[in-house]
Amino acid sequence: MSQDKTSYVILGGTSGIGAAVAKQLENSENIIHVASRQTGLDISDEKSVHAYFESIGAFDHLIITAGSAAPAGKVVDVKIPDAKAAFDIKFWGSINAAKHASRYIKPNGTITLTTGMLSRKVIANTYTKTAINAALEATTKVLAKELSPIRVNAVSPGLTMTTAYQGMDEQNRESMYENARNTLPAGRVGTAEDVAQAYVMAITNPYMTGSIIDVDGGALIN
């Protein structure tokens, strides 16, 4: 790896918010590695994650945006194996990445995780996302202490128009976006580019660590 360039690893960087972060970081001074299942890395597979970071070697900044699917439904209705599978990808996947990347991240480097506004917004039928994101927010703060001087933060997006919703019926998806535009204090639905700006801030601001950055159009104050 070139000594004078800054190197980034974006797990989940092949689409949505991660791809927008990659785009905002793109310049001739930066080396950007993006990985996801379509490049052969399943973040929930600890051995693969370990081997991946071994192959990358020393680098500066880790961004984790992998995993977006989680079962909806009441606690009494969601099948436990489905909830566990969602935890395996987003929660345990993020832990796998932080654990195995930490020995390769340079002392002035950073880790930026991704949570989600449901960590602190109480909405029925969303407990899996609430639980995963709340667990990750708590762990972000622990990691910031344990890995210092590496800085560790998390970005918590609200509804963001990405490929995560491409499986939805188009009419339902558009009416979900329209409802958000009409009800969120920001009067708009977030784009991946809006949210990506927060990762760049977490990476570049030397005074930020242990922070959860809300980019949610005001959903938490609604």
Residues in contact with ligand NAP by CB under 6 A are: 12, 14-18, 36-38, 41-44, 65-68, 89-90, 93, 114, 116, 157, 159-160, 162-164
Shortest separation between residue 127's beta carbon and ligand NAP, angstroms: 14
What residues contact residue 178 under an 8 Å CB cut-off, 6+ apart? none
Element (H or E) spanning 8, and its range? strand 6-11
- Name the packing angle between helices 192-204 and 16-25 (round to 10°): 50
- Rounded to a whole number of angstroms, the minimum distance from the CB of residue 61 to ligand NAP is 17
Three-class secondary structure of residue 74 per DSSP: coil
Least separation in angstroms between residue 116's CB and ligand NAP is: 3
User: From the centroid of its chain, how far is CA 66?
Assistant: 6
Closest distance between ligand NAP and the C-beta of residue 101, in Å?
14
Closest to ligand NAP by CB, 164 or 186: 164
Measured from the CB atom, is 7 or 162 closer to ligand NAP?
Answer: 162
3-state SS track over 16-61: HHHHHHHHHHCCCCEEEEEECHHHCCCCCCHHHHHHHHHHHCCEEE
Q: Please, which residue, 123 or 148, has the CB nearer to ligand NAP?
A: 123
Residue nearest to ligand NAP (CB): 16
Least distance between ligand NAP and beta carbon 107 (Å) = 27
131, 139 Cβ separation under 8 angstroms: no
Nearer to ligand NAP, 71 or 116 (CB): 116
